[in-house]
Amino acid sequence: MTAISTARPVPRQAARRRRPRTSPFAMLFLAVLVVYFLTPLWWLVVASSKNVQGLFGGTGGALWFDRNIDWVGNIRGLLTYDDGIYFQWIGNSAFYAIAGGLGATAVAVLAGYGFAKFEFPGRNLTFALLLGSVMVPLTALVIPTFILFSNMGLTDTVWAVILPSFLSPFGVYLMRVYIADAVPSELMQAARVDGASEVRVFFSVALPLMRPAIVTVLLLSVVANWNNYFLPLAMLNNSSLYPVTVGIGLWQSLASSNNGGGTSLWNLIIAGALVSVIPLIAAFLGLQRYWQGGLSLGSLK
């Protein structure tokens, strides 16, 4: 026998009245924040379309386009200046970001899994030290790291940039907190009862449940390594190994000191800054659904 529901449908007007009202002050505050955060990006887009004359004496103003839009000329300048070393810097940044991001994510996943699911002597003390290291500025560790790598003969190599980026205390903390809630210990114990080894429990049971957190840590690590400036500046002397952040800084110092082309470099600097942002935007858009899924699952937990 089919049960007949006696619940009355909710009228549309009642449903509309139940929706929370949006405060106009909150909307105004959010609009101000949007303008505040998008204005520098808008200025970068506008300024990258100008040549040197438009930057320093144009008619469009700082936040609007000049009469002569020269995106093509600026990109051509990036391709040809100093034998196109800018795009070599872009490739270096991509290599450092991907290699360092994958390494940092792997270390964070393994360490977070161990902290969350295994009991061992000194676990709480070790994790407390890990949390304390989050508060240490990364710039304070550059000089000791440089001395260590100098003694090992690894300065002015790609390893001097990649290896330090494998350590991400914040990534370990995120993975430990996420795994503690998202990976049920009962499910792991059931797999062990069925005869699965610890390696198979990790790869077949725990790892698929970690995917949103893994993508989040990977994205954060890639962005941090892409924007890394002080570490490669201290470790590298060969300009062909520079990431794009250090390379643009080198151009800026040349333009400020009126050497190597003087003010003619400023349009290339701004265009290069815009191009360097595009891979990060693509990474965020490409991984957004995994990233948002991880945040939503965490809020439900």
CA-to-CA distance for 42 and 39, rounded, in angstroms?
5
* 66 — pLDDT class (breaks 50, 70, 90): confident
Angle, helices 71-80 vs 266-286, to 10°: value is: 100
Give the pLDDT confidence of 208-217 residue by residue, as tens digits: 989 888 988 9
Domain boundaries in the chain? 83-300
- How confident is the model over 163-216, as pLDDT tens digits? 999 988 999 999 999 999 888 999 999 999 988 899 999 999 999 989 888 988
* pTM above threshold 0.85: no
CATH fold of 83-300: MetI-like fold (1.10.3720)
Return the sign of the alpha-carbon dihedral for residues 23, 24, 27, 32.
negative
Q: Across residues 103-121, what is the average pLDDT?
A: 93
Of the listed ranges 139-153, 161-175, 239-253, 284-298, the least confidently predicted one is: 284-298
pLDDT per residue as tens digits for the range 29-56:
999 999 999 998 888 888 888 877 777 7
Q: Which residue has the higher pLDDT, 240 or 73?
A: 240
Q: Please state, rounded to an integer, the average pLDDT across all residues of the chain.
A: 83
How confident is the model at residue 200, as a pLDDT? 92
Query: 182 near 245, Cβ under 8 Å?
Result: no
Mean pLDDT of 243-255: 90
Quote the CA–CA distance of 154 and 99 in Å, as a whole number: 17
pLDDT at 300 over 50: no
Helix axes of 288-300 and 266-286: crossing angle, nearest 10 degrees: 50
Question: What average pLDDT does the segment 141-152 reach?
Answer: 91
The answer to whether residue 162 scores a pLDDT higher than 90 is yes
Find the mean pLDDT for residues 216-222.
91
Tell me the mean pLDDT in the region 258-272. 72
pLDDT (average), residues 133-160: 89
Number of Cβ within a 10 Å radius of residue 7: 5
CA–CA gap between residue 31 and residue 11 (Å, rounded):
33
Quick check: 261 pLDDT over 70? no
- pLDDT value of position 15: 47
Q: Could you give the CA distance from residue 141 to residue 135 in angstroms, rounded to a whole number? A: 12
Please report the pLDDT score of residue 146 as a whole number: 92
pLDDT band at 112 (very low <50, low <70, confident <90, very high): very high
pLDDT band at 131 (very low <50, low <70, confident <90, very high): confident
The whole-number pLDDT of residue 260 equals 47
